[in-house]
Amino acid sequence: MSAAMPIRPTVLVVDDTPDTLGFLTDALEGAGYTALVATGGPQALALVGRLMPDLILLDAMMPVMDGFETCRRLKTGLAAAVPVIFMTALSDTEHIVRGLGAGGVDYLTKPIVLDELFARVRVHLANARAARGALAALDATGSALVAVDSGGTVLWSTPQARALLPDDLTAALPAAALADAALTPDGVATLPSSEAGPLSARIVGRIGANEMLFRLERPDTRRHDEILAARFALTAREAEVLLWIARGKPNRDIAEILSLSPRTVNKHLETIFAKLGVENRASAAVLAARALDER
């Protein structure tokens, strides 16, 4: 049986100059890529609606719709995760910043140097593949995760998150609510209710300079200590101690918070460790956090 043919990455070239289109198409095809062409922004948007490229080379200065506007529109649609490399004769900082701000990942200065072009294409295709692999791994975990920028625009989400989001929130989440999440002790934002009930977004962490990751969940009406008590057959006081352990508090702080003596906290910990079948506070904290995540 013959070996399977390797899949050729597809690169969309968007430029209003026929000579540039011909030059880049021949170079890409000769280097083992499949080249698609569009002579302007509207044509690129229409083409991406039918065929999704792996990477886009985009001329910055075009009539009707320039590359900056084209990129912004690409990034709000199906091509949000496709890397865009700007091609421009404008090498001043203002236009470079403008291109990156529109969603581009890199830029090339015309006239194009092929060695530089292929080096950048290889790097960004590899980064995109790694990102898709990471998203696929997150999808497989069954977690309802969503990444948003500072304005609340949804950059990507797992299928589980899309299933939870109401139709009017699939493109954007309330930026003010997400900002408020950073000020709450548990890092949780309450989102507008849908027909399925209230929804909250819990901060997982920051991915980039302008990208935050949230886990969506239906709020449990029970308090966290009640959840831990039910899960591990703890008394109310033991559950409170375990909750503060999960939140990283040392014994002295827990004693002060719960108006207990440090010795009483230690006694509770001995019982908690026995009920959870663990030997230390770190293992107990992991089990508590997992129980709260699974509620």
pLDDT in tens, 9-22: 899 999 999 999 99
Q: How many residues does the chain have?
A: 295
pLDDT class for 277, splitting at 50, 70, 90? very high
| CB 273 within 8 Å of CB 284 | yes
Confidence check: pLDDT of 232 > 90: yes
158: left (phi over 0), alpha (psi -120 to 50) or beta: beta
Residue 5 confidence (pLDDT) above 60: no
Ordered by where they begin, the domains of the chain are: 10-138 (3.40.50.2300), 143-217 (3.30.450), 224-293 (1.10.10.10)
Q: Using pLDDT thresholds of 50, 70 and 90, give the confidence band for residue 259.
A: confident
* pLDDT at residue 1, rounded to an integer: 36
Output the pLDDT for position 267.
94
Confidence check: pLDDT of 142 > 60:
no
User: 213 vs 219, which has greater pLDDT?
Assistant: 213
Chain segment 124-141, per-residue pLDDT in tens:
998 887 776 555 555 555
pLDDT score for 71: 92
In this predicted structure, the answer to whether residue 208 has a pLDDT above a threshold of 70 is no
∠ CA 134-139-143, rounded to 5°: 115
Read off the pTM.
0.51
* 110 band by pLDDT with thresholds 50, 70 and 90: confident
Q: Which of 8-17, 63-72, 251-260 has the lowest mean pLDDT?
A: 251-260
CA distances from 285 to 182, 279, 281, 288 (A): 22, 11, 6, 5
Please classify residue 137 by burial: count the beta carbons closer than 10 Å to its beta carbon, then call 0-12 exposed, 13-18 middle and 19+ buried.
Answer: exposed
Residue 116 has pLDDT above 90, yes or no: yes
